[in-house]
Structure 1
Amino acid sequence: MTTFTAHAAGDEACDLPDFYNSRFPSATLKCLGRTLYRSQEASDYACLLELDPDVISWRCITQPFVNHSPARKPRHRYVDFAVQKGDETLLVDIWRGTPEIITWLPGVAERLGYTYHPISIFDLNPTRIQNARDLVRYGGREAALGDRIRILAGLDEMGSLTLAECLGAVRDGAPMGSVANLILRGMLEVDLDEKLLDPDTIVRRARS
């Protein structure tokens, strides 16, 4: 598999297309390399990647894929992410509307070891996106050992707790940051799709 890395800060930063921006989220657990996004939609999708248990790692791609053809000006396409899952590596292309058919790109991606995966942001659950954004804001926090043990022990005893009860079990750190960190690290799970997170949201141990 061919990998792409974001340009490092410094002299090379000026080589980046001006539609790439270093925006939220920047504190991530699964991203390899610098976080640079083409759009707000791409940054929203990055939050979903952070909370997808099937995603091992992901990286932002800032180099275009080029159609290797004899044309004087071969066509090219900027995409958003290379996403590593357990059994496949995806080349994820986020679209604001219905994805256009780019006949040459899937073949180029395949030769580089990727499966091309275009996604319309409008096909995604907006509630899940908002919940993911809210949790990823705590990506730079850590849960203290004592807090982690108290929450996990409570879940072992009760089977589930509310989000408010989990926050109440935190004594050594910041309550929301600690619980969010455990969710982001895949130790706890909550329903991100049905409604926005609230005090009554049910929290369980993540399934292994």
Structure 2
Amino acid sequence: MFAYEVVMGTGRQSASIQAAVNSTSIRGFYPSATVRCDGGKVFRSQAARDVGCLLDVDPSVVSWRCMPTPFGDPAHSVDFEVIHDDGRVILLDAHDREIRCDVAAYEEAARRRSAEYRSLSREDVHGGFRLRNAKDLLRYGNYTVPLGDRLRLLGALDENGSMPIAECLNAFQETRPVAGLAAMILNRYLEVDLDDAPLGPETMVRRIAR
């Protein structure tokens, strides 16, 4: 398993992160696709990768960035910088991160950057079915849905209001049905409940108003 050691100091950290981005081993964390990651996909651990999966299916997240510029004293490079649709900036650590400083000090340092600091718990990440469903969807994160398939499914949803996944799959004629549906959910054309149960044929699909 790849282990990324944070190197303090702006110049050395930049070089270290670039080396990690260029390394094939850094891409070994599953799944490989991201939707709203801005910049290099540099994950410190599988736990951090799991958090990235949740960020991609959070409807309030506009974008997220891996391992931004260190902050605080002693300097700390969080796992993610997250931009929300209300303008909030969250500096976020995964649940496996060893915190070597008083969390209140990190919170104060984040405020000086007009941001918030948050450390997730294991329950935040693994509670419920959201992470499992997010990983299932992101398996198809690199797919692009042709216009014809999008129009057929969105038109059917306009007529019916909502439809189960099993019926939605019939709309896809130009791409693999499951891949097409997953890509449309990830790209916020459609919404499904990710929390109550694993995605299945009976899961209801709704169109997101734009």
| TM-score normalised by length of structure 1 | 0.82
CA distance in 2, matches of 1:102, 1:38: 20
1:171–1:106 distance in 2 versus 1, CA, 3 Å: same
Pairs aligned (count):
194
Residue 105 of structure 1 aligns with an amino acid whose one-letter code is: Y
* Residues 1:93 and 2:68 aligned together: no
Residue 21 of structure 1 aligns with an amino acid whose one-letter code is: I
Q: CA shift at 1:174, angstroms?
A: 1.1
1:151 to 127, 150, 153: 153
CA contact (8 A) 1:82 1:92 kept: yes
Q: Deviations over 1:148-194 (max 9, x none)?
A: 11111111111111111111210011111111111011110101001
1:122–1:96 distance in 2 versus 1, CA, 3 Å: farther
Per the alignment, residue 167 of structure 2 pairs with 165
* Residues 1:33 and 2:33 aligned together: no
Residue 199 of structure 1 aligns with an amino acid whose one-letter code is: P
1:97–1:90 distance in 2 versus 1, CA, 3 Å: closer
CA contact (8 A) 2:21 2:41 kept: no
Per the alignment, residue 131 of structure 1 pairs with 133
Q: State the Cα RMSD in Å.
A: 2.9
CA distance in 2, matches of 1:168, 1:207: 22
Q: Among the aligned pairs, what percent are the same residue?
A: 40
| TM-score normalised by length of structure 2 | 0.81
SS in 2 for 1:44: helix
SS in 2 for 1:103: helix
The structure richer in helix per residue is 2
CA distance in 1, matches of 2:98, 2:197: 26
Q: CA shift at 1:114, angstroms?
A: 1.4
